[in-house]
Amino acid sequence: VAPQRQSRTNPNILITGTPGTGKTTTAEMVAVAAGLEKVVVGDLIKQRKLHDGYDEEYDTYWLNEDKVVDEMESMMADGGMCIDFHTCGFFPERWFDLVVVLRANTDKLFDRLEERGYKPNKIQENVECEIMQVVLDEARESYSSDILMELESNTVDDMEANVEKIAAFAEQFRQSQQQ
């Protein structure tokens, strides 16, 4: 067990993936099933203005990574957090006990993003991001393979199985920390 984990009795879990893969829905269910506190980082960025302005072309905020990390540091200290964000490489590695990368097929992703009302250029950017497995590669570069979990999120059955798997990890983590 890495030194930073010895002080946590509850795990910190990151749920990442291309927009539309199911992070927020999954994180919400995981938070309930595993008794964790959910943080949707995109909402936090907006609420606490942890950004450097708005990009009109892509309808998105310019991420200020330092501000986000500073703001989240105290939240992560005691464990028990379920973090939802579409990029993952700038978070300190020591924060997380499990990093889940959700994956979805192109047709599913396209439909979900279109339903969300994304502009065509933003849909295309995200679909390409998923095909190129940008988030998965970033997670592999940033975290130990021991704590990485790549999960398909195409169907409701997938989602339920994923929530079960992640909740089982949290339970196992707590038991191992009690010994």
**Which residue's CB is nearer to Mn ion, number 24 or number 177?**
24
d(CA 99, CA 150): 8
CB 68, CB 7: distance < 8 Å: no
**Which residue's CB is nearer to ligand ADP, number 8 or number 19?**
19
Interaction residues for Mn ion, span 5-34 (CB under 5 A): 23-24
Work out what residue 158 binds among Mn ion, ligand ADP, none; the CB cut-off runs from 5 to 8 Å by kind: ligand ADP
Region of 58 (left: φ > 0; alpha: ψ -120 to 50; beta: rest) is: alpha
d(CA 127, CA 18): 8
Query: What are the residues binding ligand ADP (CB under 6 A)?
Result: 17, 19-25, 112, 153-156, 158-159
**Which residue's CB is nearer to Mn ion, number 24 or number 60?**
24
CB 116, CB 20: distance < 8 Å: yes
Work out what residue 60 binds among Mn ion, ligand ADP, none; the CB cut-off runs from 5 to 8 Å by kind: none
116 labeled part of a ligand binding site: yes
53 labeled part of a ligand binding site: no
